[in-house]
Copies of this chain bind each other. A is one copy, B any other.
Amino acid sequence: MPIKQWLLGHPLATAQAADERLSKPVALAVFSSDALSSVAYATEEILLVLILAGAAALHASIGVSLAIVLLLAILTASYRQIIHAYPGGGGAYTVSKANLGVTWSLAAAASLLIDYVLTVAVSVAAGIAALTSAVPSLLEHRVGLGVLVIALLTYANLRGVRESGKVFAVPTYLFIGALGLLLLGGVGRLVVGGAAPVATPPVSLDAATGGLTLFLLLRAFSSGCTALTGLEVISNGVAAFRKPAAHNAAVTMVWMAAILGTLFLGISGLADAYAVRPSDHETVVSQLGRAVFGEGPLYYCLQATTLGILFLAANGSFAGFPRLASLLAKDGFLPHQMSDLGDKLVFSNGIVLLGAFAALLLLLFRGDTHALIPLYAIGVFLSFTLSHAGMVQYWRAAWRFERARGARKALAVNLAGCVATGLATLVIATTKFVHGAWAVILLIPLLIAMFRAIRHHYADAEWALSLSQYSRLPTPRRAVYVMPIGGVNRAVVLALDYVLDNVEQPDLRAVFVDTDPAATAEVKAQWGKWGRGVPLIVIPSPYRSILVPLLQYVEQVRQQNLGGWVTVVLPEVIPGRWWQTLLHNQRALLIKGALLFKYRTIVLDVPYHLD
């Protein structure tokens, strides 16, 4: 396959699969792009909800952000314990399968698959928003640009871009550096008093329609929870850390949480201090950047690094989604093809599927980050909750059966994580329901039903194909050969000769459907000359249908020959060029399709090549 090789490069042998162990600083960069990148939009999403209660309500963003950071602290403690308990990698699917049983693990898998798709869609949309904030003329092309980025990510991952540490560390540290500089500069300007409110861009959002209700505050909290997406990535990848892996991963987890919390609180605080208003054509971070840095190179660096880390976060899903899909496929919950390693040792089918779904979402929501956000957090928090619920079960068992030291304290930590994330899930589901969360809430049980149906089918198929209870028929099944012909030509004569030369005294008959008496007479005469004595059956067809009388005849032969096979011999004309196949009757294809579901019916294709 030269095209495939030209596109994807030389295939890799199975033996070439190798491991790379990451140091803490590199691992921090590799695993935290998903989590850190969300500060690029989380504050903005909070402000977008609060503005509905008027400009004064925007100050509530500080309180909301503090609540989210508290949640972050609880989750970090809880995840540290998952890291130690599952040093081989503790994804929500693994943890809930081990501790909560199949149904809950499928719920976790469904939410995770949805999340991976949304991570790509949201991160790419937000990355494009960072770009269009700096270069407003590109705003009208945002959907096309987003789809292009997804296509490039898909292609790169099919070629086997691996998360090869050092290269991927660069954008993450650049982003941390740029945001750190923004916070320092922003605070500095406030101290020396040179900070003026940002020139408010024309707001074309809904005007304030009501007061700052509790419901609105909870909705703002739900939107802000997107800041915590990607927190679970380290716990999935413990195995990639240098030894002692679990210890190093746990330390890195704390570092990541500290950086995430600092950046998120800093952006929220600065946005409040600089009186930033959310706008539909410039992001909050971009507005802050202009206010602190002016429109110089530093500002453009900030936007570029934001874009970089967001695309990196999207890229992370291209490893996570196919890996989870292959786990599910190995357990029989997804088609086996999802676990086939491609030429480049990546799960190609999963990569293509993720790219297609994410691009579809981006098209459906016209590349609008804000429209996608309500769908996002619900799945993430459901999987968080299931992970921590699984850990609660884990410690209960550890205590009950082994009286393990520290199990009760550990249980308390994970229980706190479980309750906190469970409450957050409920809040998100309630406050975002009408804005799109309903779709995810509907989709999760549908996916679980699909997983189960697939598993069920594979189990049935294995049983039906199994040889353990099989015994062969005592007498051989002999075949009756039926050859439909549309005329007498070289293709037909060739097929006839194949059967007569290879099968000893076959019970063969040619069948011709008569729609035109003149043509039929000609065929009969020709068959007399070329038919080698094989009988020709002519079936009249007053309604001009070829297929129906033919299938009726095959069925009749099948019924008369209950102990045997019916072998349908199809002389097929194969043209030299692909477009020419459109010019020959697609009847052979239709016959094959129709025969596929008849028992004891075999199709023998004899090609005749025109060139």
Contact = CB atoms under 8 A, between A and B. Distances in A.
Interface of A: 1, 11-15, 335-337, 340-341, 343, 454, 457-458, 460-461, 464-467, 470, 472-473, 476-479, 488-491, 493, 497-498, 500-504, 515, 526, 530, 542-545, 548, 565, 567, 573-575, 580, 582-586, 592, 596-597, 599, 601-611
A366 to B, nearest CB: 18
Central interface residue in A470, A478, A542, A544, by most chain B CB within 10 Å: A544
A210 B179 CA distance: 57
A11 B498 CA distance: 37
Contacts of A606: 602
A599 B609 contact: yes
Given A493-B467, A502-B478, A596-B574, A545 B343 contact: yes
Contacts of A567: 502
Question: Taking the full assembly, how many copies of this chain does it contain?
Answer: 2
Nearest to A601: B607
Contact of A585 (B336, B497, B605): B336
Given A573-B461, A597-B574, A610-B461, A490 B467 contact: yes
A447 to B, nearest CB: 15
Contact of A14 (B457, B515, B611): B515
A359 to B, nearest CB: 21
17 contacts: A13-B542, A13-B543, A14-B542, A14-B544, A335-B583, A341-B544, A343-B544, A464-B610, A466-B490, A467-B488, A472-B493, A472-B497, A476-B502, A574-B596, A602-B607, A603-B603, A603-B605
A332 to B, nearest CB: 10
Interface residues of chain A: helix, strand, loop or mixed (majority): mixed
A336 B470 contact: no
Central interface residue in A337, A607, A611, by most chain B CB within 10 Å: A607
B575 A461 contact: yes
A461 B609 CA distance: 10
A542 to B, nearest CB: 4
A335 B461 contact: no
Contacts of A498: 477, 479, 565, 602
A457 B580 CA distance: 7
Contacts of A341: 544
A48 B501 CA distance: 75
Nearest to A501: B476
B602 A543 contact: no
Contacts of A488: 467
A322 to B, nearest CB: 15
Nearest to A473: B497
